[in-house]
Amino acid sequence: MIPAEFKYLFPSTVDEAVRMLAEEGEDAKVIAGGQSLVPVLRMRLAAPTALIDIGGLTELTGVRDDGDSLLIGAMTTHYEVQRDHLIHDHALLLKLVTDTVADPQIRHRGTFGGSLCHADPAGDLLAPALALDAVMIIAGPSGRREVSASEFFVDYFTTALAPDEILLDVRVPKYTGWGAHYEKLNRVAQAWSIVAVAAAVRVSDGVIAAARVGLTNVGSGPVRAVEVESALVGLPATAESISAAAGRASTGDGYKDNLARVLTGRALTAAVG
């Protein structure tokens, strides 16, 4: 498992990283925790000419309170996400999803932003980012811009990030007091999901006031089950009403369609508590 030769760069500021990315051209690649990129390099599925290691950009780590939302640094590790109090209190779904990512070693190296940029439709963090209306804050040669999750995930392993751009932070609205659950079906502990469903629900006086549902690995990117979400609003938070609404997660009769419905029902039921 020997990668092809590459140039290794270690910027100390975001501006320097952006400049390096522009100088090295389209065959350069940003490396964050390396948990997806390094295997790809070692198997020579990709051979970037330069790796720009943003591991030294400490301003990209950690979670900050930003009023109505949280700002999660792209280089925040999964391990940090799992243990962050702000995330626990205001974006519980992200914690629960992150708990299921790979194994402890990978969670210590892998990063929140890296997973989103890798955009593997089987990756766990895409669906909750989409369902929770996350916004990506991106730096490039012409300054900063914001892209919503729904526009960020374009296709298999493809995002709206231009080759000369870097993801800095992810803004996630606060979902304080929402119930949440991630229902994941994988064959062995270290395997990716066959299908998984991320659900967050706000219940008020026994009635579902709002719901967010994102599906992992049912298409070329994360899928938001908007029909399920809208069908749930105003219904009593009972197994029967959830089950009926969850049926809208898919219309097909294949195995994954079935899983989408079954796991959506289970995720919502658990989220309601």
Partner 1 sequence: MTATAEPEVGKARLRKEDARLITGETRWTDNLQLTGMLHMAVLRSPVAHARITGVDVSRATAMPGVAVVLTGEDFAAEQGSLPCAWPITEDMKSPPAPALAVDQVNFAGEAVALVIADSAYHAADALEAIDVDYEDLPVVLDMEEALRDNDLVHPDLGTNRCATWIFDSAEAGAGTNVEDEIAAAEVVIERTFRQQRLIPAFMEPRSVVVDSSAGMFTVWSATQIPHILRWMLSAVTGISESKLRVIAPDVGGGFGGKLQVTPEELLCLLVARRMGRPVKWTETRTESMLAAHHGRDQVQKITLAARRDGTVTGLKVELLADMGAYLRLVTPGVPILGAFMFNSIYKFAGYRFECTNVFTNKVPTDAYRGAGRPEATFAIERMMDELAVELGMEPMKIREMNWIKHEEFPFTTVAGLTYDSGNYEAATARAMELFGYDDLREEQARRRADGSVVQLGIGISTYTEMCGLAPSRVLGALRYGAGGWETASIRMLPTGKVEVITGTSPHGQGHETVWSQIVADRLGVPFEDIEVLHGDTATSHKGMDSYGSRSLAVGGTALVQAADKVLAKARTLAAHMMECDEADVEFASGSFSVRGTSTVRALGDVVLAAHVAHDLPEGMEPGMDADATFDPDNFSYPHGTHLCATEVDTETGMVKIVRYVAVDDVGTVVNPLIVDGQVHGGLAQGIAQALYEEATHDEMGTLTTATFADYLVPCAADLPAFLTDRTTTPATSNPLGAKGVGEAGTIASTPAVVNSVLDAVRHLGVRDIEMPMSPERVWTALQGRPDPGAGDVAAGGLGSIDAQGGQS
Q: Give contact residues for partner 1 (rule: CB under 8 A).
A: 1-2, 4-5, 29, 36-37, 39-40, 42-46, 118, 120-123, 156-158, 185, 187-194, 217, 255-256, 258-259, 262-263
| Residue 34 dihedral angles phi and psi, to the nearest 5° | 80, 10
The residue to which tokens 């992200």 are assigned: 94
Nearer to partner 1, 43 or 233 (CB): 43
Class of residue 5 by CB neighbours under 10 A (exposed 0-12, middle 13-18, buried 19+)? exposed
CB of 9 to partner 1, least distance (A): 18
CB of 262 to partner 1, least distance (A): 5
| DSSP-H helix ranges across the chain | 14-24, 37-42, 78-83, 85-90, 92-99, 104-109, 112-118, 126-131, 149-152, 226-232, 239-246, 255-272
CB of 20 to partner 1, least distance (A): 19
CB of 189 to partner 1, least distance (A): 4
Nearer to partner 1, 69 or 193 (CB): 193
Q: b/e per residue, 183-210, with b = 16+ CB within 10 A? A: bbbbeeeeebbbbbbbbbbbbeeeebee
Q: Is residue 84 classed as helix, strand or coil in its secondary structure? A: coil
Residue among 62, 86, 84 nearest 73 (CA): 62
CB of 104 to partner 1, least distance (A): 11
Q: Is residue 172 classed as helix, strand or coil in its secondary structure? A: strand
CB of 158 to partner 1, least distance (A): 7
Number of Cβ atoms within 10 Å of the Cβ of 16: 15
Nearer to partner 1, 37 or 203 (CB): 37
Nearer to partner 1, 152 or 178 (CB): 152
- Determine the straight-line distance between the first and last CA of the chain, rounded to whole angstroms: 46
Nearer to partner 1, 142 or 158 (CB): 158
| 105 Cβ contact list (under 8 Å, min separation 6) | none
Nearer to partner 1, 65 or 255 (CB): 255
